[in-house]
Structure 1
Amino acid sequence: MKLVWSPEMALKAYIDTVKTCKKFQESDDAEMISAMAGGWNPRLIVEAWSSGSEITTSIGLEIAARHSGARYVCILQNECSRSEYIAALKEHGSTVPELMVGESMEVMERLPEVEFMVVDGGRKDLSELFGVARLSHRGAVLLCRGGRTGRRMGGFRWDLVVKKACLVRSVIIPVGQGLNIGYVKENLEYKKSSSKNDSRWITRIDRKTGEEHVFRG
């Protein structure tokens, strides 16, 4: 099975996000991101938010998650960002999603089968977040906000960042500050090689001779 696009779900998410965000002048790309999140009908939506960023993307993702029944998790760098994020959502009258605070490697290890992921282009751990993400075997849609601005992206390229998956296609859409979008699928060759390399070295001590024997498990 793979991710399947649903126009009906995309339209529902888009319309509700437009209604909710129309009073916010900073909405920018929230409607499009919400429509994509709803349309791909993912099981897990992950957002990596950074301090000072717009909150409307989170509002749109929450709406999409509600329509699709997806689990929606927002990753924050520290407790200060967490407080700022919660305050911004409450100010706009939106529901606070499941939150995780911490280093990218540690947090992403707890999130298997990611199917839709949005990362703010201003985060310093941008490439690491995408690189360590445990993506779904059904495929995944990855978005980097700020994809049109080369300075912020620092030469960002999907094929260099997402090495555990096969890049099917990518596109940069000039809405807001730019959306760099990549669609990836499971890399079976990487999976095979990883399973071989991940075998453990096991040590056994011969009680009679005291000799140490080391072999792969």
Structure 2
Amino acid sequence: MKLVWSPETASKAYIDTVKSCELFEESSVAELVSAMAGGWNPQLIVEAWHRGGIVATSVGLSVASRHTHGRHVCVVPDERSRSEYVDAMREVGMTSEVIVGEAEEVMDGLVGVDFLVVDCRRKDFARILRLAKLSPRGAVLICKNAGSGASSGFRWRSVLGGGSRVVRSAFLPVGKGVEIAHVGATGGAPKGRSRWIRHVDQESGEEHLFRR
């Protein structure tokens, strides 16, 4: 199986996020991310939040997870970040699962991530991407606050592990820059074993072997 796009769910997530983010001045990224999360129907959405940032994206991901019946998890590095995040979400009437810890510890316990959003302002954002245990059906990776695209020096190959195959990637000038990558599914249908085929020419009697 692999991720399959659903325009209907994407639209619902987008519209509900627009309504939920009316209090935020900067909500364009949240709306974009929510629509993508809703459309790709992920079952495990992971977000790496940066302390001091607004929670509009978190609101969008929470909205999307309700439409996909998936799990939305926010990872933060310490208790101070957790407290700030939880309070900010409560102010807008939202809740989300929060996990506190270092990148290695947190990401090791999250298996099958198929939608991952990281804030490039986090010093460990590249490590989080590299350590993510992605779903075998593929995953969508998003880096917000990524700068200005090519000029920012961002390269997916430099932050992802060798086992991840980027099918396509793009930079969108939304907010302070959004880098997006679609990682392909793994473990596809097994290839059949090659076999030898024997053919005898009826006229000459010669025997030929073909490998298929």
Quickly name the TM-score band, shorter chain normalised: 0.7 to 0.9
Note the 1:90-169 alignment, pairs <5 A.
90-94=90-94, 96-149=95-148, 155-163=153-161, 164-169=163-168
Find the aligned partners of 1:149 and 1:125 in 2 and give their Cα distance: 20
- Contact kept in structure 2, 1:48 and 1:118, CA below 8 Å: yes
Is this contact kept in 2: 1:55–1:88, CA < 8 A? yes
In structure 2, runs of 5+ residues without a counterpart are 188-212
TM-score normalised by the chain length of structure 1:
0.82
The Cα offsets for residues 82-111 of structure 1, whole Å up to 9 and x where unpaired, read as 0110111111222x2111100001100000
- Which whole-Å CA distance do the structure 2 matches of 1:28 and 1:69 have between them? 23
Q: Is the 8 A contact 2:72 2:97 kept in 1?
A: yes
Cα distance in structure 2, aligned partners of 1:52 and 1:156: 23
CA distance in 2, matches of 1:161, 1:27: 27
Q: Distance in 2 between matches of 1:64 and 1:3?
A: 15
* Dislocated runs of 4+, deviation >6 Å: none
1:165–1:186 Cα contact (<8 Å) kept: no
Match of 1:29 in 2: 29
- Equivalent in the alignment of 1:197: none
Structure showing greater radius of gyration is 2
Contact 2:138–2:186 (8 Å) recurs in 1: no
Task: Show the counterpart of 2:20.
Answer: 20
Aligned-pair CA distance for 1:157: 1.2
In structure 1, the partner of 2:202 is none
Q: Distance in 2 between matches of 1:157 and 1:187?
A: 21
1:2 alignment partner AA: K
Secondary structure of the residue aligned to 1:29 is helix
| In structure 2, C-alpha distance between the alignment counterparts of 1:64 and 1:97, rounded to whole Å | 12
Name the SS for the 2:98 alignment partner.
strand
List aligned pairs for 1:1-217, cutoff 5 A. 1-94=1-94, 96-149=95-148, 155-163=153-161, 164-186=163-185
TM-score, structure 2 normalization: 0.84
Q: Secondary structure at the match of 2:59?
A: helix
Which segment is superposed worse, 20-29 or 104-113? 20-29
Partners of 1:125 and 1:29 in 2: CA distance: 21
One-letter code aligned to 1:80:
R
Please give the root-mean-square deviation of Cα atoms over the aligned residues, in Å: 1.7
Secondary structure at 1:165 match in 2: coil
Shift of 1:132: 0.6
Report if the CA contact (8 A) 2:48-2:75 is conserved.
yes
SS state at 2:28 partner? coil
Q: How much does 1:137 deviate?
A: 0.5
In the alignment, the residues of structure 2 paired with residue 157 and residue 92 of structure 1 have an alpha-carbon distance, to the nearest angstrom, of 35
CA distance in structure 2 between the partners assigned to 1:187 and 1:15 by the alignment: 32
- CA shift for structure 1 position 149: 4.0
Moved more, 20-29 or 99-108: 20-29
